């Protein structure tokens, strides 16, 4: 069972840290522009939302109420809210500016820690695909652990610790490349991040309201 859990934990870590979703683009953008400390706050917000979702879904699965998340109404509401939030966050990136002095990029005024944590939290929380990813993970691990709530919580706490470590590694690498970027490249980074978030938001809304 231990080897099975290690394998499943590795899959979860890879899915959460290397899926090119809204939080991924925002994390790299902040790491490049504002440095490691700011990026780490955003990463913390993302992982905290994962923790909230994980514990909430663990409780639902434990009490046999996971079908609530799978209802069409719940999916449509979450897609609409998530889509609007992603579009708004994406639009904000088109109005950000990068400053430069002596051909080197100055780090933009770093947003407050609380604001960054909240931003990461909301970007991840209102992405419906993250909800269903956690639902699948919890259902799989729950079966392996005989639906023992304490064991499930401990397993996912360890897994999310690994996720946070990798997220911080991505921010560290992003910070290192900022010295090689021109102001023009920084503007392009903003536009790519903003466009990606807007596209994610539009696709979410379209899939749940117009694709049927």
Q: Calculate mean pLDDT across residues 81-99.
A: 72
Q: pLDDT over 70 for what percent of the chain?
A: 79
> Is pTM, for the whole model, over 0.75?
no
The Cα 31–Cα 179 span in angstroms is 12
- Note whether residue 115 is domain-resident: yes
Q: Is the pLDDT of residue 175 over 70?
A: yes
Contact call for residues 132 and 79 (beta carbons, < 8 A): no
| 203 vs 22: CA distance, rounded Å | 12
**Residue 212 falls inside a structural domain:** no
Mean pLDDT highest for which of 16-30, 73-87, 117-131, 185-199? 117-131
Burial category of 132 from C-beta neighbours within 10 Å (exposed 0-12, middle 13-18, buried 19 and up):
middle
Residue 133 domain-assigned (yes or no)? yes
Residue 51 has pLDDT above 50, yes or no: yes
- Is residue 15 domain-resident? yes
The pLDDT, as a whole number, for residue 164 is: 92
- Establish if 89 belongs to a structural domain: yes
Residue 123 lies in a domain: yes
Neighbours of 154 (CB within 10 A): 12
pLDDT tens by residue, 53-62: 889 888 887 7
86 close to 123: Cβ distance less than 8 angstroms? yes
Residues 163-189 have a mean pLDDT of: 80
Domain range for 146:
2-207
**Token code pair at residue 211:** 């694709």
CA distance 28 to 30: 6
Residue with the bigger pLDDT between 131 and 37: it is: 37
Residue 99 has pLDDT above 50, yes or no: no
Domain total in the chain: 1
Which pLDDT tens digit goes with each residue over 107-129?
445 568 899 999 899 888 877 77
Q: Is residue 143 one of the residues assigned to a domain?
A: yes
Give the residue-averaged pLDDT of 37-49.
Answer: 93
Task: Output the six-digit token pair for 25.
Answer: 């683009």
Cα(137)–Cα(58) distance, integer angstroms: 10
Contact 17, 167 (CB under 8 A): yes
Asked if residue 117 is part of any domain, the answer here is yes
């Amino acid at each position: 069972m231990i080897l099975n859990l290690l394998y499943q934990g590795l899959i979860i870590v890879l899915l959460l840290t290397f899926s090119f979703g809204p939080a991924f683009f925002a994390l790299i953008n902040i790491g490049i522009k504002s440095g490691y400390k700011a990026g780490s706050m955003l990463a913390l917000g993302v992982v905290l939302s994962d923790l909230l979702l994980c514990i909430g879904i663990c409780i639902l699965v434990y009490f046999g109420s996971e079908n609530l998340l799978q209802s069409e109404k719940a999916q449509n509401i979450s897609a609409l809210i998530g889509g609007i939030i992603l579009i708004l966050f994406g639009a904000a990136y088109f109005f950000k500016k990068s400053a430069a002095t002596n051909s080197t990029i100055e780090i933009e005024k770093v947003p407050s820690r609380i604001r960054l944590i909240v931003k990461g939290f909301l970007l991840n929380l209102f992405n419906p695909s993250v909800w269903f990813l956690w639902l699948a993970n919890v259902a799989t691990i729950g079966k392996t652990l005989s639906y023992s709530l304490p064991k499930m919580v401990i397993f996912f706490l360890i897994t999310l610790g690994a996720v946070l470590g990798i997220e911080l590694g991505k921010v560290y690498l992003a910070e290192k490349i900022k010295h090689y970027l021109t102001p023009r490249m920084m503007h392009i980074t903003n536009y790519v991040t903003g466009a990606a978030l807007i596209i994610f938001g539009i696709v979410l809304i379209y899939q749940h309201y117009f694709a049927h």
